Structure 1
Amino acid sequence: MDYKGEVDDTGSKPFESSGSPRLVSTSDVEKVDSKIGTTVHLQRRLQSRHLQMIAIGGTIGTGLFIGSGGALANAGPAGALIAYAFVGTLVYSVMVALGEMATYIPISGAFTAYAARFVDPSLGFAMGWIYWFSWAITFALELTASGLIINYWSPNLNIGIFIGVFWAVITALNFLPVSFYGEVEFYFASIKVLTVVGFLIFGICIDAGAGQHGYLGFHTWDSPGAFAPHLVEDNPSLAKFVGFWAVLIQAGFSYHGTELVGIAAGETSNPRKTVPAAIKKTFYRILLFFVGAIFFIGLLVPYDNADLLNGTTSAASSPFVIAAKLAGVPVLPSLINAVLLTVVLSAANSNVYSGSRILVGLANERCAPRIFTRTTSGGVPYVAVAFTAAFGLLGFMNESSSGGTVFNWLVNITGVAGFISWTCIGISHLAFMRALEARGVSRDTLPYKAMGQPWFTWYGVGFNILIILTQGFTAFMPWDTSNFFVAYVSLILFVVLYVGHKLVFRTKFVKPIEADLDTGRTEIDEMYFEEVVPTTWYGKVGHWLLG
């Protein structure tokens, strides 16, 4: 196939081919696409299945397998279920908004660029750094969880040993080419998916009477109840609502990572096809996994179970493990714990990947030192990877404090940071739509068009802001300085970053007509992408099950 015309680094000139359109191989698309778009020197080697599993791998972690126990204890089975479903609608508003922008301008570190181009460079700066901060801290969180999980078998071992070992392994994996990372994450995340699916089947069987207690049905919804009272003692109805609202940050932390599809767009082959597909499939699967898992956890484990309320964050307090114990299956708790270890390591792997790519996007938008754009010959931003991975060493804080205390602090900090990032994505999308209107570009011409706009994005932005401002209400009942700081430190940091950048650089809000809608656009005219389906038996099974 002969090519004519040049493709510059910004992708402003379309790709042309001689002759009639025909199918091309994945490698051909990658060669073309790696030259297009402002992706620094990152290479487009991720396929649709990689993209979906990176998002699933970064999302399904300690928030579901361990943290959901706290949600059940605070809100009860019905309260936790409603909270997770409600936050799921907010996540979907973010995902479809991101889908429109990421398919139109698929670039590395997309969130930062969209906010800076369409709204305000200071917003891009603050958003990018708070988002990177959340993933760097989450890496330390997952390493902390890995030590706590191993303590389930050997409580006398120092968890610092495992934090150090796993930190080295995860960091080394992220220095390998992104195609290798994508394959590793695909199979790691596949274990998570199979585990959740297996638990759903297990939940159906136990609830129907296969366990030692016979048929269960909705007995936990009757006793101790569908909603758990929380904090407020003199008003039962208000206490149940308080329990529901208190769980929203935990639910947000659990969903945090779904938006990784947008980050990986800059390293994805044919993003205009793979990104929309990944957004739809990833969200529905995650929603099914989370809502389904919370539903069956609520059926099998009463919210007043002593293990849920013991104040620890080890695998012993995981509702998955508790459900297996209550069902009288002696081997299953250890098996679930082993899977939990894989789950945590997979999530940690995604943490370093996403954090490093955000740094690349920040550097590319001149919101971070240019040194972060340096890459290896394989396209790995090694400086950004090393800098992000270094924050995983915060996991060693467990050596001077209880693991449970550190875990809860990190969950709150990263959960709020996730809501801030979702809010900024929604605001960027509103500005993106105004820029399209100012240019006379119809949304009907977009590679991916989201439903119900702009109202759906306004819905997400409004509730995300409300949750951010009110999620720390427990610090006032009664006043607790430590809890107030944990609840609002991410918001305080975000405001400091935004105001500081605004004062130093005197940036102005971007006018819709002046918004940059061209730099980084990918145009592959008269070409079609042919997905490469794995030919091995396990590859075919994985493709059938996972996409």
Structure 2
Amino acid sequence: MKANGTPVDFSSSGEDIGVVGGTTRIFSVTGEKGKEMGGKEKGNSSDADSAQQGELQRQLSGRHLNFIAIGGTIGTGFFLGTGTALVKAGPAGCLISYIFVGSVLWSVMVCLGEMATYIPTAGAFSSYATRFVDPSLGFAVGWLYWFGWAITYALSLVAAGLIIQYWKHDVNIGILIAVFWVVFTLINYLPVGIYGELEMWLSSLKVITIAGFIIFGICIAAGAGQEGVLGFKFWSDPGAFNEYLVTGGVGQFVGFWAVLIQASVSYQGAELVGVGAGEARDPRKTVPQAIRVTYWGIMFLFVATMLLITMVVPSSDPNLLNDSSNASASPLVIAAQRAGVKVLPDIINAVLLTAVLSAANSNVYSGSRVLLALAEEGQAPAIFKKTNRHGIPVMAVAGTASLGLLGFLNLSSDGGKVFNWLLNISGVAGLTTWASTCLSHLAFMRALKAQGIPRSDLPYVSRFQPYTAIYGLFFNVLITLTQGFTVFINWNVSDFFAAYISLILFVVLWAGHKLWHRQPSVNPATADLVRGRYDLNEERSAADGGV
């Protein structure tokens, strides 16, 4: 029975109900073996059998979730992109942009936290949109998000090859792409506990490097470098705000908004905590903790690093305009060179290599779980639900990894143009996912109210709702719509389609699914708040006096 006394229809809840020997049994596929109401275990199902039916295994701890998200967030965009951000907006504009986008990310994370602890499921974003808002929205968000991570896998493989060329210029990038593709595709077939442990160590190297730079930056700003005490010298000369594309105050605002969009892409990946929730041990405890640690950890690392970069590197430094894909373009390296430290470029380049390889690892993991979720919602071929005895979605991993081969497009100039268009899709895919998460949370709260379930029953309750969700939804939609605004200042048809192809694809996916299936939006009173609940059996057992 639901909390308001209406009967619950378990026929579509992912559970089989039967009466055996006078005892009602509920055989759950939500992450635990089926149990009888009286606490007796279902004894005719093996781990291997349940895994073949599409069941993931809960082997990820809280620290695994933290580092999977950190590994997916801190990549080349953070190590290299901060340089161009500093040029566009200046030190103050740059720092404000990153802090502001951090507040938008916070709204997404707390919305995700409430839903992912109540219904922890792989590929959470598309599942929540489908079950609480509209199946067509879930279809469009899920497929766009999956494609974004799959194509980012190809980017990571290409970036790894370019970084290695820093040491050996004549190396064939095609060979490196092939080798890395094989290695990281195979890694994603390992049991998820091993994958999580490997990702933890790869991500730890990036965290240690950033922590080291923070200490280094403080020392340089305090006068340890050859330029003497810097403090906030570069905030006054050349200035706190830069003009971008146009002059005057408008140009300074344009610079700020351009970096706002860039920062939103840099933060993407933090939401992977929600993807891993379906394989987390005791998600009621691990997911909220992982969300808090991931958010505040990423915010501290990003904001502290950005602050110190603005203090030790002037926005007028010509090296910031270096379009190289290796360490020479990193503001961390430029800061070391200005301070007279010679050895750091090689160290940073090695960390960059670790960063992109860690990101490649996360790309396949996250993409495969989203594809699995789409299949479970009937929005992708059922073959992608197949898992092996270790709970690995074998076909979803293969389907996601196959798009990594698009990295070979970069071996030709014409192919490189196509590849860049595909990357524009991946950038906005994260923003649409953030927006849909906030919208799904508003619909989730509406469904709870309609079905008589108080928010106090949730394992994790965030503050300031629904205002937090509205705040995140508004700014995510605004940033998504304006992310290509620079093409309207210097109009170019090719640049327009490159900037907005992702939104066009999103509309095509949503409208196509809506016209084909003609499914109505979800009624809050009948929204599925049962299937996938991790604690469902325990609550029912307690209600019936079970042990």
**TM-score under structure 2 normalisation?**
0.89
State the shift of 1:113 in Å. 1.2
Query: What percent of counterpart residues are identical?
Result: 58
Aligned to 2:186: 172
Hey, what's the Cα distance between the residues in 1 that align with 2:422 and 2:514?
A: 28
**Native 8 Å contact 1:39 1:108 kept in 2:** no
**Which residue identity lines up with residue 190 of structure 2 in the other structure?**
L
State the shift of 1:159 in Å. 2.3
Aligned to 2:131: 117
State the shift of 1:443 in Å. 0.6
**Which residue identity lines up with residue 265 of structure 2 in the other structure?**
F
Segments of 5+ residues of structure 2 without an aligned counterpart are 1-22, 540-547
**Which residue identity lines up with residue 233 of structure 2 in the other structure?**
H
- Tell which structure's C-alpha radius of gyration is larger: 2
Hey, what's the Cα distance between the residues in 1 that align with 2:305 and 2:265?
A: 16
Residue 465 in 1 paired to residue 477 in 2?
Answer: yes
Aligned to 1:26: none
Aligned to 1:389: 401
**Native 8 Å contact 1:115 1:123 kept in 2:** yes
- Please give the secondary structure, in 2, of the residue aligned with 1:356: helix
State the shift of 1:482 in Å. 2.0
What is the aligned counterpart of 2:322 among 300, 303, 310?
310
Residue 380 in 1 paired to residue 392 in 2?
Answer: yes
Aligned to 1:531: none
Aligned-residue Cα RMSD (Å) equals 2.6
Residue 262 in 1 paired to residue 281 in 2?
Answer: no
- Please give the secondary structure, in 2, of the residue aligned with 1:249: helix
Residue 360 in 1 paired to residue 345 in 2?
Answer: no
Residue 525 in 1 paired to residue 538 in 2?
Answer: yes
Aligned to 1:334: 346
Aligned to 1:181: 195
Quick one: structure 1 residues 486 and 15, their matched pair in 2 at CA, closer, same or farther if it must change by over 3 Å? farther
Hey, what's the Cα distance between the residues in 1 that align with 2:431 and 2:112?
A: 14
Range 394-403 or range 121-130, more displaced: 394-403
**Native 8 Å contact 2:89 2:243 kept in 1:** yes
Quick one: structure 1 residues 329 and 406, their matched pair in 2 at CA, closer, same or farther if it must change by over 3 Å? farther
**Native 8 Å contact 1:116 1:122 kept in 2:** yes
Quick one: structure 1 residues 499 and 402, their matched pair in 2 at CA, closer, same or farther if it must change by over 3 Å? closer
Hey, what's the Cα distance between the residues in 2 that align with 1:409 and 1:308?
A: 24
State the shift of 1:392 in Å. 1.2
State the shift of 1:324 in Å. 1.5
Hey, what's the Cα distance between the residues in 2 that align with 1:437 and 1:195?
A: 46
Q: Deviations over 1:194-215 (max 9, x none)?
A: 1111111111011111112121
- Please give the secondary structure, in 1, of the residue aligned with 2:413: coil
Aligned to 1:128: 142
**Which residue identity lines up with residue 360 of structure 1 in the other structure?**
L
Range 88-97 or range 134-143, more displaced: 134-143
State the shift of 1:138 in Å. 1.2
Aligned to 1:322: 334
Residue 498 in 1 paired to residue 496 in 2?
Answer: no
**Native 8 Å contact 2:48 2:388 kept in 1:** no
- Please give the secondary structure, in 2, of the residue aligned with 1:224: coil
**Native 8 Å contact 2:28 2:35 kept in 1:** no
Aligned to 2:359: 347
State the shift of 1:414 in Å. 2.0
Q: Deviations over 1:109-134 (max 9, x none)?
A: 21111111111111111010011011
Aligned to 1:87: 101
**Native 8 Å contact 2:409 2:416 kept in 1:** no
Hey, what's the Cα distance between the residues in 2 that align with 1:36 and 1:101?
A: 25
**TM-score under structure 1 normalisation?**
0.89
Hey, what's the Cα distance between the residues in 2 that align with 1:314 and 1:404?
A: 18
Quick one: structure 1 residues 402 and 318, their matched pair in 2 at CA, closer, same or farther if it must change by over 3 Å? farther
Quick one: structure 1 residues 511 and 517, their matched pair in 2 at CA, closer, same or farther if it must change by over 3 Å? same
**Native 8 Å contact 2:26 2:37 kept in 1:** no
- Please give the secondary structure, in 2, of the residue aligned with 1:155: coil
Quick one: structure 1 residues 410 and 82, their matched pair in 2 at CA, closer, same or farther if it must change by over 3 Å? farther
**Native 8 Å contact 1:54 1:261 kept in 2:** yes
- Please give the secondary structure, in 2, of the residue aligned with 1:525: helix
- Please give the secondary structure, in 1, of the residue aligned with 2:58: coil
Quick one: structure 1 residues 498 and 43, their matched pair in 2 at CA, closer, same or farther if it must change by over 3 Å? same
